[in-house]
Amino acid sequence: MQVYGIADNSKEMSEGYVFIARKGTNLKGEDFIPEAINRGAKVIVRETPIEPQKIPSGVYQIQVRDVKKALSQMALNFFDHPEKKLTLIGVTGTNGKTSVCYFTKTLLQSLGVKTGYIGTIFYEIERRIPATETTPSIIKLGWLMKEMVDKGFKACVMEVSSHALDQKRVEGLSFEIAGFTNLSRDHLDYHKTMEAYFQAKKLLFTDYLTPEGKVVLSFETEYGKRLYQELKTFLLEDRILIVNDGYLRVEILGMEDGLEVELKFLETGEVYRVKTSLFGEYQAKNLATTVGILTALGYPKEEIVLRLRELRNPVGRLELVAEFNGAKVFVDYAHTPSALEYALKSLLPLKKNRLVVVFGCGGNRDAGKRPLMGEVAETIADYVILTSDNPRFEEPEAIIDDIKKGLKGIKPCAVISDRREAIEFAIKLLEEGDVLLIAGKGHETYQEIQGKRYPFSDQEEILKTIKRIKERS
């Protein structure tokens, strides 16, 4: 029989589709078999025993031992194995994945290699597709990579999340380059412990590397050093390239009007000075990881360094959105204690007066990081404004109360739970020489409240607010 599509979501079924009844985090795929059949599914793939009496005639059932593995094999077969026709580059870590992947994609394009990007901010082929997940399901990955192959792309750079690795969403893929940025507290609502979080990240290097694939490790955190020690027991050292302390080190020369850095290749003694248009101290480390990836791919250092001047911060990553009243207004995705610390410290050299921060924390996620983020904000910023992020099914005020547990009352602090009002309050507060950071949502164009996503963009709100203020004055 002709198969017209594959899906693991019953709502995505059409006539002649295969439905993969896989177990999700909270739901069982078998519960959605009737809906899938009503929508046109002709084949059901499941781990649980076949139930002939419950399935109408003309619908086939296949029982498999490992439904996730079957899903991967069927999806990649269906799309004619696009992963074998692309150079796959995967990057994992808590912070920096988006910047490293986006920089890598940009540099490869500049070097004449048509390169796609799959990650948090969007999926990019020759068009940009809104991202539903940092690393989507293997079905969507197969579809995206098939379109890349059809359009003549030669490489794909992918952010690989810990959730995707733990849930085997990249089953069947093999990466030529696997990169690691850093590891700090995040997603403990899912992984429960930092050890489990680390072990999930490690899978990219142990389970998904090609036989000749190379690893680029950043020694930004102790987890990078630990990963190196564990990997070198079964990988030859010439397949592991260390940045930010080993093969390549980046030193910051200046940050005021764009990051100026010195790249030192320690083995050869080569030194390059580069003036970029990037904002953010942490981008120096991301640059080192990016250069490491391009070097591991075999590109000459001179060619790589020459193109670093072309790089710009990705959307929502320390993005300079506006200047108002002699102050600079930035947006950043920082939603972990370490990311918020990196972002705020990166802006300190730009301030001539005060550093103001607006942020909240997501609902139904790791509540333990909330007071830590409050502590970071109060320690570094001069004025803190607490607001709502994506409260999901929690009350915004309860989330803010958790953040306030980390405050000591040593800096001015305002609490405005409505994010739109908080942004307006912060902008009206600005004086000559101030720097304002609006953190937590970055590239997101929605706010998630009680199961619904409402249109909301920090960037748009900033520009609308400034326009309103100017019209009134």
Ligand-binding site membership of 95 (annotated): yes
22 is in an annotated binding site: no
Task: Report the b/e string of 71-90 with b at 16+ CB within 10 A.
Answer: bbebbbebbeebbeebbbbb
Closest CA to 300 of 260, 249, 265: 265
* DSSP strand pairing (260-265 vs 270-275): antiparallel
Closest CA to 96 of 313, 257, 255, 303: 313
341 Cβ contact partners less than 8 Å away, ≥ 6 residues apart: 376, 380
Does residue 365 have a known ligand-binding role? yes
Among residues 120, 85, 114, 84, the alpha carbon closest in space to that of 102 is found at: 120
Is 162 part of any known ligand binding site? no
Structure tokens at 136: 């989507």
439, 433 Cβ separation under 8 angstroms: no
Closest CA to 18 of 73, 95, 66: 73
Q: Is 10 assigned a ligand-binding role in the annotation?
A: yes
94 is in an annotated binding site: yes
Q: Are 377 and 384 in contact (CB under 8 A)?
A: yes
Q: Is 244 annotated as a binding residue?
A: no
Mind giving me the DSSP string for 142-182? HHHHHHHHHTT--EEEEE--HHHHHTTTTTT--EEEEEE--
The first and second tokens of residue 332, run together, are 């950043």
Give CA–CA dist 277/271, Å, rounded: 20
Tell me: is residue 82 an annotated ligand-binding position: no
Q: Is 392 annotated as a binding residue?
A: yes
Q: Is position 31 annotated in a ligand binding site?
A: no
User: Which residue, 102, 106, 142, is CA-closest to 122?
Assistant: 102
For residue 137, say whether it is annotated as part of any ligand binding site: no
Work out whether the CA dihedral 373, 375, 380, 382 comes out positive or negative. Answer: positive
| Residue 101 Rama label (left phi>0; alpha psi -120 to 50; beta) | alpha
* 93 labeled binding residue: yes
- Whole-angstrom Cα distance, residue 63 to residue 53? 15
The gap from C-alpha 278 to its chain's centroid, in whole angstroms, comes to 18
Instruction: Tell whether 167 is in a known binding site.
Output: yes
Does 85 count as an annotated binding residue? no
Dist CA 255 CA 62 (whole Å):
59
User: Rounded distance, CA 448 to CA 435, Å?
Assistant: 27
Flag whether 338 is marked binding.
no
CB 51 within 8 A of CB 31: no
Q: Point out the annotated binding site for meso-2,6-diaminopimelate.
A: 365, 389-392, 440, 444
Q: Point out the annotated binding site for ATP.
A: 93-99
Q: Point out the annotated binding site.
A: 10, 93-99, 134-135, 161, 167, 169, 365, 389-392, 440, 444
